Amino acid sequence: MAFQAMAKDFDLLRSQLLDVIKANRAKGVSSDEHPSVCGETAQDHCLVEGPAALPPMAISLLEQVQEYNANPGKERFSKMVTLAEQMDATSLLVSARVLMEILVQANLAESHQRLRAFKHALKSFVTMDFQDPGDTAIKTFRGCFNKMTAEGITHEQIREALVNHKIELVLTAHPTQAQRRSNLKKHESISQLLKVHDAKDSLTPGEQEELRAKIQALQWSCWRTNAVRRNRPTAEGEARNGMLVIEDAVWTAVPEHYRRIDRCLKHRGMPALPYDASVIKMSTWMGGDRDGNPNVTAYTTRRVNALLRWRIAELYYTEVDALLFDLSMTGATSEELQQELKSLASMWPAPTSDGDKVCVPDTRCGVHFNFQNGVAPDEPYRRVLMSVRRRLFRTKKSMESLYLGKPVDKDFESEIYKSTTELARPLEIVYRSLVTTGDEVLANGRLLDLIRRVRTFGVSLACLDIRQESDRHEEVMNAITQYLGLGSYSSWTEQAKCDWLLDEIQSRRPLLSPDMPMGDIVQEVIETFRTIADLPPETVGAYCISMSRATSDILAVCLLQKIGGVKQFMRISPLFETREDLQAAPRVIDSLLGIPWYKDHVNGKQEVMLGYSDSVKDAGKFASTWALHVAMEKLVEVGQKHGVEVTFFHGRGGTISRGGGPPHLTLLNQPAGSITRHLRLTVQGEMIQQHFMNPEVAEHTMERYAVAVLEHILTPPPLPSPEHRAAMEELAGLSAKDYQTTVFRSQEDQFVKYFHAATPSAELAQMNIGSRPAKRRNYGGIDTLRAIPWIFAWTQTRLLLPVWLGNGAALDKFITDGKLQLLQSMYSKWPFFKSMLDLIDIELGKADEHIAAHYDSKICDDALKPLGQDLRQRLAQATTSVLQVKQEKEVLSAEPSTKLAIGMRRPYLDATHVIQAEVLQRLRKAGEQTSEELADAMIVSIQGIAAGMQNTGCMCTLGLRCSSAKATLLKCLSYLAMNRFMGPQARLFTSARISRGVPGDFKVDADETSTVDSSGSDVEKEEIDVQSWSIVGRKIFERLADDDSDDDFDVMKNVPINTHAWSAVGAKIFNTLADFSDDED
């Protein structure tokens, strides 16, 4: 089974890790003999990098964890608690560290299984039942095409949607990535070695031993690396980390993503994507997100922009250098290419005599390893590429100068690539010439890959968004109006603000006097817009305005762009975050698009960003999800009213509390029509690593998003009935009232006190996991706390309050009022409601009231403990209510593989909670007199819990084998019915099953190589006769029928099928199951 394969990988990694650590103990090495040194001086001793040998008490804890794993219960848990209480600070720190490393190994095993399942899905050519949420993460283009074809969507419609769609993934540096980049790179290497381990049977004993040694070396390197950041990362450092992810994974994955689409279209008789298609785009906030982060300045943005452009020029340069070898052809070319050569002739000195090499780099073009002395005059493609290479080299050198603050060589300025069209044009001319002259096979190789990369990345490795809070813009406007003697802008009415802003935007005279005095904040905002004016428009993306509340917020940014000298305005994406702001968003955008100047300015397109984290923090999951859904519905209507296409920018986080989850389920939360072509969303914090660990994982990520978008465009979710809509509106209201009363209106602020006492909220601030502070302001309570640390803190104690508080009370009220059947009807008939409960169910599966109670017992005052008890009872109530609506007995019933993955981590995760609670208790008792080891133990425990509580199983990829076998059997039956091996009754049954979501027959995919011939025998198994295969088919069928959870197989048990038919079934299913087998049985 898939879970068994993952468990084996985890056992391998865990045992290898512990073996290499314990090996030093066997050699008699002690921590004292090898003191760990960290920090800037040798005197700064600590043990945050794993010691050379484990302390005895840490080993005892590992033994107790194994006992707890075998027999979980209060008694075993209490033993771990008692042992932790007896540990000194060093043992607590080392125990937290080794548990964290084990949890990381579990994550690596799961990530590898996710990729393995995806590749199995690609190889098995099985059409999955897409109504099963357990298969949402292994959706492939092939399976999606089959499903849509069965629903009446033509291949032409599918191709048109593919050509026009675009997925834009925006990397953000939110502080949820607790692991250091130093170790993340090593984890990627371990993942690559796990792929080699999958083929261990083909390795010699020596190669297997060497493989294990390589894994252990990487694990040991991670173990001996300092797990605690001594300094908070800089904004530029975060940007560099993001660049590494894009270069290491996305750069390689992009061409394969396009080729995978091309292959699927080709196998259905459709043309490939156009060579200049652009269906994927990368953007970033790193270096541009200054919302509440004083560390991101105009200087930072300028340097990061130069870095992004420098790096992409380097990558393009390498590809063009390789193409110079590939495209060595001489002879006829297209007329278009001949004209291009004439236009490029002036770039190079003319040859002194016939036959001399041309395109000879001068001394200012640097040293090139290849073609330093030019190329032959009869090599037209190389001549074009030499010109491209020269411009890339000069672009790269110019970006280096900009980054270092030096002047750019004036002779280089005219050759700097500033637009995608500039760079793509000569490459596409070469492509068309190759196709025209019969060299299409060469055109569709490395050259096509490069063109598609250019169309994806443009002239910057990632497009840089700028984000700032609306209040900062208002401060600038206030300073200007007061200087001009117009009074306080902040005190004006909304209409007065809009009128003045529009007048100034359209005025020809300058508004800002150079003599106007400015405070630091105003100066920095103005300088940001002056920096934007200096950057090529294609290298910057959207200007996101956080906490947008009014039309004037958007117009203020338009005026600021004019003041800064921006010639081509950045598109503006107002961000609506709280529930109240989401409800007001349609009115704001309607008013905005009603302004003739602005409507002409946006040219038929308006982007709107939606906040998921803050709306959940503000009103709870039910109210937030519904507010987002309704806002999108109304905003689509507003766009239609004004003839403007509204594109939604989804500010989703990693956890379900912050809008995360499988793409298929999260997009079901969106109303029909909310995705017309373009999906733009953030990939935040720890999700960057999960989405882009390596090129194969990146390919999987892009395909999952593309499939989800295609389904939403071509087969949108149904609209709710009026009764269901009214019920959801009432549920949202009830949920928000209960949530807000608890969080924001508790008696004597008891809840606020409990939050800070029962969670490591204060300790989270000590972690140098992001350049941005935890609060937008240095004052205020929960209302000014950012949503991310709010959710992160509850995750640490396993109460996971943001995702369920309020929901349970709302559901319970409906159930008490006799509306359970209504709720069950909503769940079964409305995809929006079903996906919302399914996502909550996944989070409830990770919550643990006993762990939360343990924290209360260790660190809460007696006066606050009753509130904790009440919250845990409400968690139980929420769980019961969700299960009643879903008609299930326990959480994660529909996600057994997810449940198993969580269970795999649970003993190590629970032990980490034990360590953290003990450390918290000691830290708070010690006050300012705490030891550095205890503080480090706290940080390491936070990292460990963050690793163990990742979106475990959200990708839903582990339940592949049974569903694939079942789908294979149904496909077999489809094949038999189509070829009349069955009688009428069997054919009728098969047709019914196909209509339920397992469409197509055995030969529906051109890329599927069927091994069954017309007689029903298996071509590759000729040594086994038909009678034998028929017995195999019947036996496998009966075994699957016994394990089936519905009546799909039972209906067929007594249907007469001839021997040749059972032979075909047996051969096909046997081969499919063998592909998934971990041995040679």
Catalytic residue among 112, 120, 147, 174: 174
600 Cβ contact list (under 8 Å, min separation 6): none
Strand partners, 649: 609, 680
Residue 684: CB partners within 8 Å, gap ≥ 6?
172, 174, 176, 652, 653, 654, 658
- Spell out a b/e string for 810-845, using b for 16 or more CB atoms within 10 Å of the CB, else e: bbbbbbeeebbebbebbbeebbbbbbbbbbbbbbbb
Q: Please state, in angstroms and as integers, the Cα–Cα distance from residue 648 to each residue in 167, 467, 685, 688, 1040, following that order.
A: 12, 16, 21, 21, 44
Q: CA angle, 741 as apex, 738 and 745 as ends, to 5°?
A: 170
User: Cα torsion at 506, 509, 510, 515 (round to 10°)?
Assistant: -150
Which DSSP letter does residue 785 get? Answer: B
Strand partners, 540: 464
- Alpha carbons within 13 angstroms on the beta-carbon side of residue 680 total 23
- Residue 541's SS3 state is strand
Which entry of 147, 617, 724, 971 is annotated as an active-site residue?
617
Tell me the CB-side half-sphere exposure of residue 997, using CA atoms within 13 A. 10
Task: Write phi, then psi, for 611 (nearest 5 degrees).
Answer: -95, 130
Active site residue 1035: no
Residue 289, strand partner residues:
467
- Nearest 5 degrees, angle CA 949-CA 952-CA 954? 135
Please give the helix or strand (H or E) that residue 463 lies within, else none.
strand 463-469
Tokens at 951, concatenated: 């979106």
Contact (CB, 8 A) for 938 and 766: yes
All residues at 6 or more sequence positions from 313 whose CB lies less than 8 Å from its CB, including other chains: 392, 393, 395, 396, 399, 417, 459
Residue 733: both structure tokens together:
């209201």
* Among candidate residues 655, 656, 713, 654, the one with its CA nearest the CA of residue 679: 713
Specify the 3-state DSSP secondary structure of 464.
strand
Nearest of 158, 127, 118 to residue 993 by alpha carbon: 127
User: What single-letter amino acid sits at 62?
Assistant: L
User: How would DSSP label each residue in 31-81?
Assistant: GGGS--B-SSSTT-B--SSPPSS--HHHHHHHHHHHHHHHS-SHHHHHHHH
Cα(727)–Cα(219) distance, integer angstroms: 53
- Size of the chain, expressed as the number of residues it contains: 1081
Burial 955-980 (b: 16+ CB within 10 A, else e): bbbbbbbbbbbbbbbbbbbbbbbbbe
Radius of gyration, alpha carbons of the chain: 31
Evaluate whether 657 touches 176 at the Cβ level (below 8 Å).
no
Q: Which residues contact 70 (CB under 8 A, 6 or more apart)?
A: none
Give the chain's largest Cα–Cα span: 98
> Rounded distance, CA 157 to CA 682, Å?
28
* 174 catalytically annotated: yes
Cβ-in-10-Å burial (0-12, 13-18, 19+) of 343 comes to exposed
SS (H, E, C) 111-156: HHHHHHHHHHHHHHCCCCCCCCHHHHHHCCHHHHHHHHHHCCCCHH
Residue 650, classed as helix, strand or coil, is strand
Catalytic sites, residue numbers: 174, 617
